[in-house]
Structure 1
Amino acid sequence: MIDRSDDADRSGDGVDSIAPEELADRLRSGDELTVLDVRDRDEFERWHLEGEGLEAVQIPHMKFIQAEATGGADDLVADLEEPILAVCGHGEASAHAVSLLREAGVDARNLAGGMDAWADLYVARELDVDAPATVLQYDRPSSGCLAYLIVSGDEAVVIDPLRALADRYVATAADRGAELVYAVDTHVHADHVSGVRDLASRTDAEPVVPEGARDRGLAFDARTLGDGDELHVGEATLTAVATPGHTTESLSFRLGDVLFTGDTLFLEGVGRPDLEGGSEEAPAAARRLYESLQHRILERPDETTIAPGHYSDAADPRDDGTYAARLGDLRDRLAALSLSEDEFVDRATSDLPPRPANDERIVAANLGLEAVDEETAFELELGPNNCAVAD
């Protein structure tokens, strides 16, 4: 993992700041907040803070430098609602802007460590589920990416690990007296760089991917799984369930009454079908997704816990902050799950969000077709995952 601790320490020196953890709590609570982004316009447009209750405004830092010489820093934000949270890349330029605003009597605070620290925030929470193992959900609030660590006895497996934060899984497993034996991807991700190979190189964990990844050009050695194949971890068993649609090779994994659905089914929608084959192949992929949902997932008991691979601002967490739901509740809540096949295909292929940033390079990296260094990998995946079709 890239060490940004020095930047975070400097950014809050002498300035009223909030930590990324506090920002995550406020976003989950829906608190109203104006975000003042002092980065350049291209950086802002590429990726900025979004969420319910947030209004993001870009005013470049240069204007605050000019205001320091001429006065009137408060005039720059005269039309903005307070409180104001200022952000930049590392937290230093925004700290300067906050110091000027607070001197002028504006209720402003700085995001400690800036957007880098926000991207580096990764929270592990134990998932309250009926399963023959301990399940921890890892939440990256900056992108909505979710991963899972399953611990049974002295063995552990991680599902959909992030390369940028791979050391977290190793440390958590060690804290619980376990070692990683498998690092698993549910599909070839297009929104983040996978940590499967990184974990295999630094531990004894075996890399595991869906067998269909070979048809997409998999270029590294890994164990492959198909429908019904099993992984044994301590006393627990993970069973692969083929759920193609979001991608041709997508798998879900069953552990007791828990189903880890990757990008097939979310709390607020379903996986988008166009990332692998583009818009021309999206209708056929949407029909595969419909079949997977109707006959591989929705036929399961209502008490099944759905543990998705992502969430968006539209998803509501549980009281404990985790993102999971009963299948019966999703069946009742998501209109997409009760549509006819043709209606589903039309909805799943219409009004799609922008593709994840750098998706083609990320897919190439995850197949082992392109080598990217740690810093590049971190930069490639910044921003929202955009892997869902909202309900």
Structure 2
Amino acid sequence: MTDRSDHADRPGDEQPSIAPDALADRLRSGDAMTVLDVRDRDEFDRWHLEGDAVEAVQIPHVRFIQAQATGGVDDLVADLSEPIVAVCGRGEASAHAVGLLREAGIEARNLAGGMDAWADLYAVRELEVDAPARVFQYDRPSSGCLAYSIVSGNEAAVIDPLRAFADRYVADAADFGADLTYAIDTHVHADHVSGVRDLASRAEADAVLPDGARSRGLAFDAVTLGDGDELTVGETTLTAVATPGHTTESLSIRLDSVLFTGDTLFLEGVGRPDLEGGSEEAPTAARRLYESLRDRVLEQSPETVVAPGHYSTAADPGADGTYADRLGTLRDRLAALSMAEDEFVAHATTDLPPRPSNHERIVATNLGLEDVDPETAFELELGPNNCAVAD
């Protein structure tokens, strides 16, 4: 694999570094590494780099400053396996740590731009699908959030856009030779700040949400969809499929042989049922989710391509780097899809991970009940999405 960070080794550069996109490639490839996080413990606990082959270790920068004075840098990291990628908020403290490590003969690189740059990384890849439109998947590795742009003729629609990248969708649609006509949310998100309102404003597009968002307090103008409702995008049609369970209003969106499942079905599990009503309502929501999967999702053709709204480190990307798979493959692979109802409910409501950070404020923002500035929005959604029940 080409290391796009090699330029950082040229004379004059302060420390060898790895660019966020190169790091994402290595994480997807399962390359073993130690990620040395020199931020404070609370920042690390809130959000840090993870991966199947990653050992994440937190050693605050102040200890490197102390070790520099005593000459004990190699002792500080004696138990860490090489290679080491050092990270901090903006790449400055970690660059200092990398310099000390390399002086001690330890193989180390700095994450260029730090965790801020990691959060800003947003990749787009085209899905190879048998559909009367082009489908592009947007991937934010820092959170596992996925969004989609559907381009047909001279029109485009974006599904589950992120507010932080609203300008990107508009610019990309123009590059694809299309105008954005719809910005669609599959449900009221609890893990990231939605971009539907920003896109509606910037691109003169329609904001689109499920009908049930109104009963949750939707406070801005939007087109709402119920089961079976359709949107025309260029020369193709998007159809709403009601799939409640993760939330009461959750929809999936069907484009011919592709099903955009939002947070209903993932490559590595199903949507968690407790984000809207809490643990008390979770069993009831889990039964709704079971019915949605059984009666609305699994009734689709096994050849249907499932395009989810998130992925975790447990999900394996395709050879092209995208996160999507055939429904038949998921049915064979995911035990949850063959469970009896009571077993499924117990599975979906037991040992759930912590809720996404700031989920209540994020939901209020996405309903238009609270306005937050871009900096606050960025802070609200940092960290893993935690919207799935792992299989």
Q: Which residue of 2 aligns with 1:5?
A: none
User: Which residue pairs with 1:4 in the alignment?
Assistant: none
- Which residue does the alignment assign to 1:72? 72
How far 1:171 sits from its partner (Å)?
1.1
The RMSD of aligned alpha carbons is 1.1
What's the CA shift for 1:178? 0.6
Equivalent residue of 2:319, what SS?
coil
Instruction: Write the distance in 1 (CA, Å) between the matches of 2:89 and 2:199.
Output: 28
> Is it true that 1:203 corresponds to 2:206 in the alignment?
no
- What is the match of residue 297 of structure 2? 297
Structure 1: 5+ residue stretches without partners: 1-7
**Is 1:275–2:284 an aligned residue pair?**
no
CA distance in 2, matches of 1:69, 1:315: 43
| SS of structure 1 residue aligned to 2:35 | strand
Q: Which amino acid aligns with 1:283?
A: P
Aligned structure 1 segments of 4 or more residues deviating by more than 4 angstroms: none
Partner deviation per Cα, 1:213-271 (whole Å, 9 max, x = no partner): 00001111111110000110100100000000000000000001000000000011000
Show the 5 A alignment for 1:1-391.
Answer: 13-391=13-391
What's the secondary structure of 1:215's corresponding residue? Answer: coil
Residue 45 of structure 1 aligns to a residue in which SS? helix
Matched residue type, 1:307:
A
CA distance, structure 2, for counterparts of residue 212 and residue 140 of structure 1: 27
DSSP-derived class of the 2:214 partner:
helix
CA deviation map 1:95-139 (0-9, x unaligned):
011011101111010000000110110000000001110000000
Q: Distance in 2 between matches of 1:13 and 1:256?
A: 51
2-side partners of 1:59 and 1:346: how far apart?
39
What amino acid is aligned across from residue 222 of structure 2 in structure 1?
Answer: A
CA displacement, residues 12-71 of structure 1 (integer Å, 9 cap, x when unaligned): 941100000111111111111101100011111111111101111111111112222232
Q: CA deviation at 1:318?
A: 0.7
Deviation by residue 1:194-230 (Cα, 9 ceiling, x = unmatched): 0000111111111000010000011111111100001
What percent identity do the matched residue pairs reach?
81
Q: Which amino acid is the alignment partner of residue 130 of structure 1?
A: D
Match of 2:3 in 1: none
Amino acid of the structure 1 residue aligned with 2:299: E
SS at match of 1:216: coil
Counterparts of 1:315 and 1:82 in 2: how far apart (Å)? Answer: 25
Q: How many angstroms does 1:363 deviate by? A: 0.4
Counterpart Cα distance in 2 of 1:304 and 1:382:
32
Q: Structure 2: how far apart are the matches of 1:58 and 1:345? A: 37
TM-score (norm 1): 0.96
For structure 1, which segment, 257-266 or 59-68, has the greater mean C-alpha deviation from structure 2 after superposition? 59-68
Figure out how many residues of one structure are paired with residues of the other and give that number. Answer: 381
